Amino acid sequence: MRRGKRYRAAYEKVDRAHQYPPAEAVELLKQTAGTKFDETVELHIRLGVNVRHAEEQLRGTLALPHGLGKDVTIVAFAQGDKAKAATEAGADFVGGDDLAERIEGGWTDFDVAVATPDMMPVVGKLGRILGPQGKMPNPKVGTVTDDIAKAVEESKAGKIEYRTDRQAVIHLAIGKASFDADKLLANYAAVIDEIVRAKPAAAKGRYLISITLATTMGPGIRVDTSRTREAEILPAANGGDGAADADTQPEPEASEAAEGAAA
């Protein structure tokens, strides 16, 4: 693919053979963001799991401490008092059959869908539309619940869903290029902590294969996979640059799976 002058200039700033400490990676990422719009910061994590086995697939949610830097549009499937609670919590669209018919007609201009359990017979019909977009309500990630107000509030506050794809890669947005570096680092640390905590018991061998940061239009920047604790990520936690006490960098991975998705 032919790249523009801006991308090539940003690409030249990145050492492809180096895994950067998290703080350095974020600073470099901000230097390579130069478009006229506020680019999304993407995080791509390749895991050493076999996703053909259900017990090694990852799926869950987490709340980013500093959100995503964008307004989250939420639809809520609820009736009666639950519908009122969803509206008061900030849901943008609330309904039942009428909302389902609108989605069946091709409207999907929203980010998150939540539902009460009694509405699932209606929502279930939308699986072929919402499933491929990652918007299908699911009790495992808290988007099918009787506490619909809490689900709406958490989604508005920056709660995000993650899951491994067929290549065992997790793709997430963790903020905007305009975020202060410390806020991006805090969001990054929250994601890494969650992914490490969620390591499947059946997973064998090396777990974190590669981690790549990138902006929407920027080159991938490899991050040191050995630095997973908060003290190794956040400069304020160790009084340094997020590099802890390590003097050497691990060997770079041969696979470009995560970076290829980011660049």
% of the chain residues with pLDDT over 70 = 87
pLDDT band at 108 (very low <50, low <70, confident <90, very high): very high
Mean pLDDT for the chain overall: 86
How far does the chain reach from its first CA to its final CA, in angstroms?
Answer: 11
pLDDT value, residue 91: 96
- Full-model pTM: 0.73
More confident residue, 54 or 12: 54
Q: What is the mean pLDDT of residues 117-122?
A: 96
Centre a 10 Å sphere on the Cβ of residue 251 and count the other Cβ atoms it contains.
8
Q: What is the tens place of the pLDDT at every residue in 158-169?
A: 888 899 999 999
Q: What is the tens place of the pLDDT at every residue in 127-144?
A: 999 988 889 999 988 999
